Amino acid sequence: MKHRFVSIGVPLLAALLMVWALALAPAASAAGTPPKPVGSVPSSVGQSVSWGQGSVTVLYYAGTSPVVPAACELSINGDKVPVAQATDSSYANGRQLQFSFAADYQPPKGNLKLHAVLVTKSGEHVTYDWTYNNPGAAKPELLDWPTIRQFWWYIAKGGALTVELTVISICFAVVFALFGALGRLSRTMSFKEAWDKYRSWGFMALHTLRMIPYWIATFYTSLFRGTPLLLQIFVIYYAIPAIIDYMHARYSWFNIPYPSAFVSGCAALSLNYGAYLTEVFRAGIQAVPKGQTEAAWALGLSGGQTQRRIVLPQAFKIVIPAVGNDFIALIKDTSLVSTITVNELLHRAQLVGGRTLQFLSALLVAAAVYWILTIFFSFWQARLERRMEHDRARA
C-alpha cells in the first residue's frame, strides 16, 4: 500500500515541479522588458513649437536590452526614410532615438503616418506609430512674420516703460546738472591765487568753504563719467539693499524699503546723464558772452540776479541741442536697465527671442520701436530749437 503511494506520488510531484519550472522559464529566458515608446518629435501633442524637418525623434523608456540605433528603421506613409544617422541617447529618465534624415531627403507635406521600429540587441522589434500633420518646410525667410505678428504688440508695450524711464531720468538729470554746473562754476580762483591776492588766513578759511560745492560737483561728474553706466546700474541695484541691511543691522530705526528695479534704474540713469549734462550746462553758461554779465553789473543787478535773469536764460537756449541729443541717447541707454529685471523694450524682445528662437525678428521689432521713439522725440527737439531761434530773432 505504502509502496504504491510512493510510486504514484513521486512522478506526480515531479510532474508538478516540471509544470512550475516551465511556467517560470519564459520569464527567465526572455530577459525582461522591451523598450517602451512614450512620445515623439514631431508630435501633434506636447511642447513642439515647430518641426525642423531634418530629424524625427522617438522617446522611449529603456528596456532590459539596449536599442541598436543602426538597425532601427523609420518610415513615413509606408516609405522607408533614408536615415543618415540614428543617435540613441539618454533624455530625462528615459531615452531618445533621433533619426537624422539624409541631406537630400524632404519629408512629404500633409498628414503623415509615421512608423518607427526600435530594434534591440537581443532581437526584439518594438514598433511605434503616430500621425503628424506636416505643414511643409517653411520657405527660408529672413524674418519670421508669424512671430512678429504674434508678439509685436507685446514688445511694443515695453516702449511705454522705456519712455517713462527716459522722461523721469532726464527730468532728474537736468536738476542734477543744473546744480552740478553751478557747483563747477562756483570756483572763482585757485588757492594760490587767493593767497597771492589777500594773504589772509581768514580769507583762506572762507575760500575753502566756498570751494565745497565745486569739489562736490567735480567729484560727482568725475565719478559718474568715469565709470560705465552698466556698472552704475548694477551697483545701485545690488549694493543699496546691502547698505540698507547693514544700516538696519546697526541702527534698528533705519528701516526703509529697498528701491525697486525701476527706481534703481532711474537713479542710475539720471545720475549718469546728470554728470554728462553738468558739463554741457557748464559749457552753456560759459558760452554766454562776458559782456552780458558786465552789462548786468553795470545796471546794478546783484550776482544772483545776473545768474537767474541774464545768464541762465541765455545758457538754456544754447544747451537745448545738446540736451536734446542726450535725451535721444538716453532713450537707447534705458535698454541697459533690462539687465536688472525691468521689463522694458529690449528685455521683452529678448524674452520673445528666447521663446520663439527668432532673435532677428524679435530684436528688429524692438529696433523699430526705438527708432520710432527717437524720430518722434527728434521731431519735437527740432521744433523746440526752431522756436528758440525765433525767440532769439525777436529779442
Site for another protein in 335-394 (CB under 8 A): 339-343, 347-348, 350-355, 357, 359
User: Binding to another protein by residue 165, rule CB under 8 A?
Assistant: yes
User: Binding to another protein by residue 13, rule CB under 8 A?
Assistant: no
Stretch that binds another protein, among 63-71, 112-120, 255-263, 376-384 (CB under 8 A): 255-263
Strands of the sheet with 36-41, listed across from one edge: 36-41, 55-61, 94-101, 83-91
- Backbone torsions φ then ψ of 8, nearest 5 degrees: -85, -40
Within positions 104 to 143, which residues make up the interface with another protein, using CB under 8 A?
A: none
Question: Residue 339: how many CB atoms within 10 A of its CB?
Answer: 15
Nearer to another protein, 110 or 354 (CB): 354
Within positions 49 to 108, which residues make up the interface with another protein, using CB under 8 A?
A: 49-52, 54-55, 57, 59, 84-85, 87, 89-94, 96, 98, 100, 103
Cβ(281)–Cβ(307) below 8 Å: no
Interface map 294-323 toward another protein (x if CB under 8 A)? --------------xx--xx--x-------
Q: H helices of the chain, where?
A: 2-29, 145-185, 191-198, 201-226, 229-250, 261-286, 290-298, 303-305, 312-333, 345-356, 359-394
What is the C-alpha separation between 268 and 342, in angstroms, rounded? 13
Stretch that binds another protein, among 39-47, 207-215, 223-231, 277-285 (CB under 8 A): 39-47
The DSSP secondary-structure symbol of 34 reads P
Nearer to another protein, 34 or 37 (CB): 37
Stretch that binds another protein, among 112-120, 174-182, 217-225, 278-286 (CB under 8 A): 174-182
Q: How many CA atoms lie within 13 A of 192 on its CB side?
A: 0
Nearer to another protein, 103 or 393 (CB): 103
One of 116, 126, 161, 330 touching another protein (CB under 8 A): 161
Q: How many CA atoms lie within 13 A of 112 on its CB side?
A: 25
Nearer to another protein, 17 or 243 (CB): 243
Cβ(183)–Cβ(213) below 8 Å: yes
What is the C-alpha separation between 125 and 34, in angstroms, rounded? 8
Cβ(273)–Cβ(326) below 8 Å: yes
Report how many residues bind another protein under the rule CB under 8 A.
75
**CB 374, min distance to another protein, A:** 19
**CB 277, min distance to another protein, A:** 12
User: Binding to another protein by residue 42, rule CB under 8 A?
Assistant: yes
53 dihedral zone (left: phi>0; alpha: psi -120 to 50; beta) = left
**CB 383, min distance to another protein, A:** 16
One of 132, 152, 262, 370 touching another protein (CB under 8 A): 262
Max intra-chain CA distance, the chain: 151
CA 368 to chain centre: 17
Within positions 264 to 283, which residues make up the interface with another protein, using CB under 8 A?
A: 266
Nearer to another protein, 221 or 270 (CB): 270
Within positions 225 to 254, which residues make up the interface with another protein, using CB under 8 A?
A: 234, 237-239, 241-242, 245
